[in-house]
Amino acid sequence: MLLWMKRAMHTDPRVRGPAEIRPIEWPNDYLDLVDPLWTRKRDVLLAWARCRAAKESFQEFIRCRGWGSPATIYRLRDEAAEQIAAGINAAILRSHADLNSS
């Protein structure tokens, strides 16, 4: 999931196809909107993907932004990634169940 986000950030926004746009939208689609840290998790995850795609230091990005402890930031990234992966897996299972019930 993280690799897909990194690859999506690496593509030219002017020529991104639907498959390349989808990973960028995952935080909005799969993160729990009632979570008080929703915005922070989304921002951390997108910033991490952008830094990785641009081959820039995420550690330096965290430091320059004053986001706090890198350990906390990486924990938020990992929590967001786990939530998104769980949401994607649940959507896949639902689509298979729908196909089997037809």
Distant-in-sequence, close-in-space partners of 22: CB < 8 Å, separation ≥ 6: 8
How confident is the prediction along the chain (102 residues), in pLDDT tens digits per residue? 787 788 777 776 677 676 677 888 889 899 998 999 999 999 999 999 999 989 999 999 999 999 999 999 999 999 999 999 999 999 889 887 877 776
**pLDDT, position 74:** 97
pTM of the model: 0.80
Cα separation, 16 vs 59, whole angstroms: 27
Domain presence at residue 58: yes
Domain presence at residue 30: no
Domain presence at residue 24: no
Domain interval for residue 80: 2-11+38-101
**pLDDT, position 79:** 95
